[in-house]
Structure 1
Amino acid sequence: MDGTVDGFRYGAVTPVAAYLMACLGGALGLRCIVRSLLHQPSWKGGWLALGAASIGCGIWTMHFIAMTGFEVRETSVRYDVHLTIASLVVAVLVVGVGVFAVGYLGAGRRMLALAGTVTGLGVAAMHYLGMAAMRLDGDIRFDPAVVALSVAVAVLAATAALWAAVTIRGFVASLGASLVMGLAVSGMHYTGMAAVSVHLHEVTGGSWSGDSPTSLLLPMLLGPLVFLLLAGVVVMFDPLLVMGGDWDRTAPASRQPRARAAQRPRR
């Protein structure tokens, strides 16, 4: 018997909240990557790591906020804690691979395509690893064509995000890019969820184990949420990031006194 799958049991609450978290993680990550391209090369790795962690946490948080609105009406849904944590680690690590690749090796077409592909595949792996953490009285099945489409969306979204990270430097433009990035990540998630169907076991009850969404996901979401808030504080109090696109004028300005001194006529 097929189960009745509902991904929106709370209406628009979980999709909107999930989208906002994806936007927040994207916005912080993009600003951190921009900061790594500025001055003080010794801090470059730290800013890239903070950017990768912000984007990874945003994607993971988006996924599991959306999953709190997922249910199969004929059976309870629970989650394996170890696989859930592993999906967070995968999200941060694979985003880090792409971010560090373009941060240190440049954003040429080939590098951008390679880094975007690796990152997109990692985002898709995080999504389906999170799905593998689900425990219910039935078998979860996926439509291969829709899964392939969701992976393609993830790769395109990751490539676009990395391109924006190294290309768009103005604050307003970066904010707009994060909104598009959040839409792409959410689109990938719900495309992947459209591939899901559940075949229930004939004998119900007791065949699954794990923690319920409210007892596992909500407490686990606190950690990434606090991290994103702290990352936001770091970004807000960095003057070069607050200036956004105006940062590139600081270097010429610092050289102006020397230039004026050189232009003074000699006596």
Structure 2
Amino acid sequence: MHGTVDGFRYGAVTPAAAYLMACLGGALGLRCIVRSLLNEESWKPGWLALGAASIGCGIWTMHFIAMLGFQVKETGIRYDTGLTLLSLALAIIVVGIGVFIVGYRGSGKITLGVAGVVTGIGVAVMHYLGMAAVEVNGDIRYDPLTVALSVAIAIVAATAALWAAVSIRGFMTSLGASLVMGVAVSGMHYTAMAAVSVHVHDNGNGAWAGDSPTSLLLPMLLGPAVFLLLAGVVVMFDPLLVLGDGEWSRSATSRRTSAAKEANEPVPQHSSAGFAEPVGQARPRQDHYGTAAPQWAPPPGHDW
């Protein structure tokens, strides 16, 4: 029997919430990657890892929040916990591969293309691994052409996200890129869900009347959601991201100058020619020709 598949059981609530989580993960990830590129003295691996984990968690939570609205009217739905958590780990790992490639190799066409393909295929595999965790009283089948289209969308979305990560610096441009990334990731998900059809078995329907998907998925969604909240706190209170590169440099210079004054140390000053001149050291007198006049001093042994 052909099952009736519905991906919008709660109307627009789950698509909107899924989109917001994809945007949140994308925005945090982009800002972390920008942070690793703004200051070479920062701990680049840590910021890149935080960015990859943020984007991966955003994609994963987007997927399973959207799956809260998925139902097959003729059968209940269960989720395999192991495969669900494995899909989360896979999302973070494959995004991390792409992020570290562009973080250390730059945004050349070949580098960006390889990283985008690897990350996009990984995101698609994460989606279908998450779908493999879905258990129904029947067989889940996929339309091959629609699956191929969803993979292509994932690759384009991943490539665009990685390009934005190494090319965009400003806060507003990063925010705009994350909104576009949310559209692409959500579009990939619902394109992939359009490929799904379910052939329901005629018997055993009562055995599937167990816990609802909401009670199964919400506890697993709590961990990644808390992680994104903590990542947001780190990004919001990082002074380099709050002030920007130029303001941070000026602020650091001001702090060093204030510290030198408090320690009664000479503070370097710059002339109009750009050369440093020691403070507290008198310049030699100049005569009316502009040349330095010799400084007269009493001969040794005379105390005048």
TM > 0.5 fold call: yes
Which structure 1 residue ranges, 5 or more long, are not aligned?
Answer: none
Query: C-alpha displacement at 1:212, in angstroms?
Result: 4.0
Q: Deviations over 1:77-108 (max 9, x none)?
A: 11000000000000000000000000011110
Q: Which residue of 2 aligns with 1:113?
A: 113
- Residue range with higher mean Cα deviation, 254-263 or 215-224: 254-263
Matched, 1:124 2:134: no
* Corresponding residue for residue 75 of structure 1: 75
Number of the residue aligned with 2:51: 51
Which of 37-46 and 149-158 deviates more? Answer: 37-46
Deviation at 1:38? 1.9
Q: Match for residue 97 of structure 2?
A: 97
Q: Structure 2, unaligned stretches of length 5 or more?
A: 255-266, 278-282, 285-304
How big is the shift at 1:258?
A: 6.1
Does the CA-based 8 Å contact 2:75-2:208 persist in structure 1? no
Match of 1:29 in 2: 29
For 2:76 and 2:176, locate their aligned partners in 1 and report how far apart those are by CA, in whole Å. Answer: 39
1:170 maps to 170
RCO greater where, 1 or 2, for CA within 8 Å and sep 6 or more? Answer: 1
Cα distance in 2 between the residues matched to 1:207 and 1:142: 25
Match in the other structure for 1:260: 270
**TM alignment of 1:87-236, pairs within 5 A:** 87-205=87-205, 212-236=212-236
* Aligned CA distance change for structure 1 residues 129 and 208 (closer, same or farther; 3 Å): farther
Letter in 1 for 2:101: A
> What is the distance in 2 between the residues matched to 1:187 and 1:199?
25
Task: Show the counterpart of 1:2.
Answer: 2
In structure 2, what residue type is equivalent to 1:155?
Answer: I
Letter in 1 for 2:22: A
Identity %: 71
Return the letter of the residue paired with 1:260: H
Tell me the distance in 1 between the aligned counterparts of 2:4 and 2:126.
24
> Which structure has the greater CA radius of gyration?
2
Cα–Cα, structure 1 residues 209 and 11, in superposed 2: closer, same or farther, change >3 Å? closer
Deviation at 1:41, TM superposition (A): 3.8
TM-score of the two chains, using structure 2 as the length reference: 0.82
Name the CA distance, whole Å, in 1 between partners of 2:51 and 2:209. 35
Determine if contact 1:79/1:210 at 8 Å carries over to the other structure: no
Measured after TM superposition, the shift of residue 219 of structure 1 is 0.5
CA distance in 1, matches of 2:269, 2:188: 52
Deviation at 1:214, TM superposition (A): 1.9
Partner of 1:60: 60
Distance (Å, rounded) in 2 between the aligned partners of 1:37 and 1:60: 26
* Matches of 2:211 and 2:123, distance apart in 1: 24
- Paired with 1:259 and 1:72, the residues of 2 have a C-alpha distance of 74
User: Residue deviations 1:233-264, cap 9 Å, x none?
Assistant: 00000011123xx4146448878996825446
Q: Distance in 2 between matches of 1:49 and 1:210?
A: 38
Equivalent residue for 2:245, pick from 237, 244, 247: 247
C-alpha distance in structure 1 between counterparts of 2:67 and 2:269, whole Å: 59
What's the CA shift for 1:51? 0.2
- Deviation per CA, 1:165-212: give whole Å up to 9, x if none: 000110000000000000000000000000000011122336769964
Q: Deviations over 1:17-41 (max 9, x none)?
A: 0000000000000000000002244
Cα distance, 1:232 vs structure 2? 0.2
Whether 2:23 is the aligned partner of 1:13: answer no
Name the one with the larger helix percent.
Answer: 1
1:84 aligns to 2:84 (yes or no) = yes
Cα distance between partner residues in 2 of 1:159 and 1:209: 42
Mapped to 1, the partners of 2:276 and 2:189 lie a distance apart of 62
Aligned residues: CA RMSD: 2.2
**TM-score (norm. length: structure 1):** 0.93
Change (3 A) 1:124 1:263: same
1:26-74 per-residue CA deviation (whole Å, 9 max, x = no partner) reads 0000000000002244500000000000000000000000000000000
For residues 181 and 228 of structure 1, the distance between their equivalents in structure 2, rounded to whole angstroms, comes to 16
